[in-house]
Amino acid sequence: MGEDKAERKDVWGKVESLAKTVAGVGAGIGAILIPIYVNDFSQQSQRSGIYMQIMSEREKADTDIRRAMFTTLLEKYLGEFKDEAEYDENVVRKRIMFLDLLNLNFQEYLNAKPLFEDVYGRLERARKKSKTSEEVQTIGSLQDAIIGVAKRVASKQAAMLANIGLKRAFQVSLGGRACIRLYDVRGLQKVVVGNPEAIPIHQSDEGQDCSQSSDNMSSTKEWTGRGFPSIEVQLHEVRADAVRVVVIPYQDFYNNGTFIGSKRDLPIEFEVSYFDLPYMDNTKLFDGSRFALVLSNSASDRAQLNALIFKEEFMSLRDRPLFEEMLRKLQQDHTVS
């Protein structure tokens, strides 16, 4: 009995000694690691603060420079060009140059469509009053020049939006229509009357509307959730600088990759001119995305356009990617540490 008590006492003594040793070692390790962790956290916070300060100061400096540049250009544009002469070739060429500079530097912030239309309208009125073929030819070349500037800006914006969305090129005849599907159609198909085999869905179909249903369309119970966005474009008028269209949005529904039908939304009628810029001139769809039409070329009986679709949240100020780059760098630094 006495031996058992002695053994238990000896065991508890060893446990107590071990606990004291572990506590001492833990306290020592904690005394070393805690300051290291606190110092590392402080360094990360300091780096983040430095990054934010640099970005803030750089943005402020960039904003100040751009504000001064914008004010100077706009004052030059509106102040130097007087209205005494409706048409002056040199004045018009300067206007075109200033419009080019404005759009190259401020296309994310400025809707220059009214300025383009003002210059083009002046040229059109001057052309109607022209008395010589040489003057008509000169005015025509100036009109082509200002349309060229606008098309270059619109093309640049369209290419940028296509990188974060989707672009469809199509053409439509005067009085006709075209169905443009603003989604990836790879692997999708539809059943057509009189055709025993399903045919692939095309990106766009000239001369067709988007409401055509397939033979295997079944119960509307399958029409669940949101469909895929399509637009039907009807061409009603063609002018030298613009076209008038009616756009009907649709939601396309599929069952196991086979088209079963579409839901039609309310039609929208508007003009699409060479001076429309997709950053500014776009329309919201049912799923929150936005679409824009860009006029590429037009003739007396048809028009070539590009349809763009992109997410609304991607429309932002010019320097947004720099903030994202900074956040990624901070995250990488945190992972490495």
pLDDT in tens, 242-260: 999 999 999 999 888 888 8
Neighbouring residues of 302: CB distance < 8 A, sequence distance ≥ 6: 171, 172, 173, 174, 235, 238
- 91 in a structural domain: yes
Number of compact structural domains in the chain: 2
- 214 in a structural domain: yes
Query: Do both 191 and 86 map to the same domain?
Result: no
Q: Which domain holds residue 79?
A: 19-163
From CA 30, how far away is CA 45, in angstroms rounded? 22
From CA 213, how far away is CA 198, in angstroms rounded? 13
Query: Do both 79 and 93 map to the same domain?
Result: yes
Instruction: Look up the pTM and report it.
Output: 0.69
- Among 54-58, 82-86, 214-218, name the one with the lowest average pLDDT: 214-218
Query: Do both 85 and 208 map to the same domain?
Result: no
- 11 in a structural domain: no
- 4 in a structural domain: no
Residue 287: in which H helix or E strand, if any? none
- 108 in a structural domain: yes
Query: Do both 139 and 172 map to the same domain?
Result: no
Query: Do both 271 and 145 map to the same domain?
Result: no
How far is residue 242 from each of residues 95, 233, 301, measured CA to CA in Å? 21, 15, 13
Amino acid present at 250: Y
Boundary-marking domain end, from 163, 193, 224: 163
* Residues forming beta bridges with residue 245, ordered by sequence position: 235, 270
Alpha-helix runs per DSSP H in 81-170: 89-106, 113-129, 133-163
Query: Do both 126 and 240 map to the same domain?
Result: no
How far is residue 233 from each of residues 162, 262, 284, 312, measured CA to CA in Å? 20, 15, 16, 22
> pLDDT digit string (tens) for 152-164?
999 988 998 888 8
The per-residue DSSP string of 113-137 comes to HHHHHHHHHHHHHHHHH--SHHHHH
Query: Do both 298 and 311 map to the same domain?
Result: yes
- 325 in a structural domain: no
Q: What angle do CA 160, 250, 203 make, to 5 degrees?
A: 55
Query: Do both 246 and 112 map to the same domain?
Result: no
Q: E strands within 212-275?
A: 228-238, 242-255, 258-264, 268-273
- 332 in a structural domain: no
Query: Do both 227 and 209 map to the same domain?
Result: yes
> pLDDT digit string (tens) for 186-200?
988 887 766 667 788
Boundary-marking domain end, from 116, 143, 163: 163
- 191 in a structural domain: yes
CB-count exposure of residue 202 (10 Å: 0-12, 13-18, 19+): middle
- Average pLDDT value over all residues in the chain: 77
